[in-house]
Amino acid sequence: MSANLFSVAGKNVLVTGGSRGIGLMIAKGFVQGGAANVLVTSRDVKACEESAKSLQKVAQEYSSSSSVHYVASNVGSREGCQELAKYTKKIFNNKLDVLVNNAGTSWGEPLERESGKANWGWDRVLDLNVKGMFYLTRECIPMLKRSSNEDPGRIINIGSIAGMITQEAPTHAYDTSKAAVHHLTKKLAADLAPQHITVNAIAPGYVPSRMSMGLKAYGATDEKISNSIPLGRMGNDDDMAGAAIYFSSKAGSWTTGVILNVDGGATTIQMPLASL
């Protein structure tokens, strides 16, 4: 077995939505692992700057040689994806090793409510969660493709178990978008394998973040959620980073088209026989 089986040292990594939540957890893991360059991006330039500073502190703490970069971008539009790809090409000298498509948003409204924002909510979620992911991936392919299959370029899409099982919250657009992310992952994996690029998705369960906090409006609490998970806890930084590092390292170089549930067993819950 290779001594560097799970190494990401020397890699150039782009993480969208990297200023907070799961994106920041993953970026932190790459910095801890000694990636050469980690570029975090989101629409909020102040949040990007603050996250970059926190990641630089992590690099110092772990004696990591990682260089941390940040830029504000809007990957919810085709033009925004093009601009981010151009910037990445410049910063990374036209070589991107890992693209983490994490940027996403949610929106919920009961079916019976007509707030006048229904179409806006659906459009915003699908534009960022699905269309933006597709457009940015397409723009980054020239930087990711390789001439050999020994160390392929890596694309990691962040899906959700909400794309597999329904939620009690009225998050119709979000759940649908994540199901689309999972299917798009498989489609892109087939399309890009000849260019020596792997495409996989992480489907997180409940991980504390700004987005997941919104579920508390529907009666969810940390205790209730933890008790509902077979492994008895919510996800954390290492859970998210570990999955991304696996897909990005030599250990994951022959893995593509996979939707990896990282959910503490939430999708394995069995229906009680009494309810049948």
Please give the positions annotated as active site.
Answer: 174
Q: How far apart are CA 100 and CA 55, in angstroms?
A: 16
Nearest to 237 by CA among 58, 70, 56, 28: 28
**265 Ramachandran zone, left/alpha/beta (phi>0; psi -120 to 50):** left
Residues contacting 145, CB < 8 A, separation 6+:
153, 192, 195, 196, 197
Residues contacting 94, CB < 8 A, separation 6+:
142, 143
DSSP-derived 3-state class of residue 101: strand
Q: Helix 237-248 to helix 21-32 angle, to the nearest 10 degrees?
A: 60
Q: How far apart are CA 27 and CA 244, in angstroms?
A: 9
Joined tokens for residue 93:
């000298």
